[in-house]
């Protein structure tokens, strides 16, 4: 008799628990937390939790913010598709899933891409590679005036295309430092290149004899151009070689200011040195000429 009583009582408790569980689940689905956060399923303690993607699918977190997948007891953004369907994408451009939230990658810099972002505008990862996605990446801003150390300001690479920053037209190049300093003012194949006319009018021509163009850059192509350059008279770099003007002979040095004023009259390795200078301790020797870029005229007398 006693055993039968216990069995009946236990059955009653199970029935009551089932009823309470059903009531808790229904209550969760009707709660504000379900509509807002996806906490629509009752757990063993009758607490409302996120337990499945279905809990998130109808929530504000999914509809507004793209958080449509259940993970770790919360709704999270796990796919670009979920983000693209959300209001935050349509209104604010947050259309890509990133670390559980929907973000606008075009305005971001990922830590893994910090170095390439600064030098090339490749600021976020796509398919395992750092890429450029927007003018903001290439110019550092959406404003017309780019940040001064950006690829846009330095090289005229102002438009993101195919994951990299390119020069979209001559106007991008014309506003760049590459145009001002190296006469690379024309857009070609996504980059800025020099033209013969630009090189002839440039300071690189007047100063360094780089009056011709080779491979898209101003280069010293003739001895005549070197002889007309300021550095020929000043430093004896009067002979064209490999795109730069160098001191090709002691005759170049003999007619220069560095020979007349500080007795650097012998050509060695493309520069003028003193006749007894072997490059040992205490030797005074100019730096070798820059064969690739324009150089700044620095007088040995400090002028």
The whole-angstrom distance between residue 213's C-alpha and the CA centroid of its chain comes to: 29
> Following DSSP, what letter does each residue of 58-76 receive, concatenated?
TSHHHHHH---EEETTEEE
Residue with tokens 């001191």: 247
Look at residue 164 in the predicted model and tell me its pLDDT: 97
Look at residue 26 in the predicted model and tell me its pLDDT: 84
CA distance 235 to 178: 25
> Are 178 and 191 a contacting pair, CB within 8 Å?
no
Low-confidence ranges of the chain (pLDDT < 70): 1-25, 276-303
CA distance 284 to 299: 14
**What is the chain's mean pLDDT, rounded?**
87
CA distance 171 to 184: 12
The sign of the CA dihedral 167, 170, 175, 181 is: positive
And the tokens for 43?
């757990």
Cα separations (Å) of 141 from 110, 120, 176, 190?
16, 14, 15, 20
Query: What number of other Cβ atoms are within 10 A of residue 303's Cβ?
Result: 8
11-32 residue pLDDT tens:
444 444 444 444 566 899 999 9
Look at residue 18 in the predicted model and tell me its pLDDT: 43
Overall pTM surpassing 0.85 (yes/no): no
Strand partners, 124: 131
Strand partners, 187: 192
Helix (H/G/I), strand (E/B), else coil: 29? helix
Give residue limits of the domains in the chain.
27-103, 105-193, 206-277+284-303
The sign of the CA dihedral 99, 101, 103, 108 is: negative
């Amino acid at each position: 008799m006693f055993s039968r009583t216990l069995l009946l009582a236990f059955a009653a408790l199970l029935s009551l628990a089932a009823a309470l569980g059903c009531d808790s689940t229904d209550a969760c689905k009707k709660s504000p937390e379900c509509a807002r956060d996806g906490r629509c399923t009752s757990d063993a303690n009758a607490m409302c939790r996120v337990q499945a993607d279905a809990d998130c699918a109808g929530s504000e977190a999914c509809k507004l913010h793209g958080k449509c997948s259940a993970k770790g007891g919360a709704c999270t953004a796990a796919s670009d598709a979920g983000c693209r369907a959300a209001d935050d994408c349509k209104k604010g451009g947050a259309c890509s899933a990133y670390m559980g939230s929907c973000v606008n990658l075009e305005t971001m810099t990922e830590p893994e891409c910090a170095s390439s972002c600064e030098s090339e505008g490749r600021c976020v990862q796509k398919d395992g590679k750092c890429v450029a996605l927007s003018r903001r990446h290439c110019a550092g801003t959406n404003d017309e005036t780019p940040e001064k150390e950006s690829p846009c300001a330095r090289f005229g690479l102002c438009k993101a295309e195919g994951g990299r920053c390119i020069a979209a037209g001559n106007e991008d190049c014309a506003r760049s430092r590459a145009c001002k300093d190296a006469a690379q003012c024309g857009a070609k194949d996504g980059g800025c290149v020099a033209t013969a006319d630009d090189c002839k009018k440039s300071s690189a021509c007047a100063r360094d004899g780089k009056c011709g163009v080779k491979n898209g850059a101003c280069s010293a192509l003739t001895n005549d151009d070197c002889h007309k350059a300021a550095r020929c008279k000043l430093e004896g770099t009067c002979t064209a070689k490999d795109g730069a003007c160098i001191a090709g002979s002691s005759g170049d040095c003999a007619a220069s200011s560095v020979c007349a004023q500080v007795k650097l009259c012998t050509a060695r390795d493309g520069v003028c040195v003193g006749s007894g200078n072997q490059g040992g301790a205490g030797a005074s020797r100019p730096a070798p000429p820059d064969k690739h870029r324009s150089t700044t005229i620095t007088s040995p007398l400090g002028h």
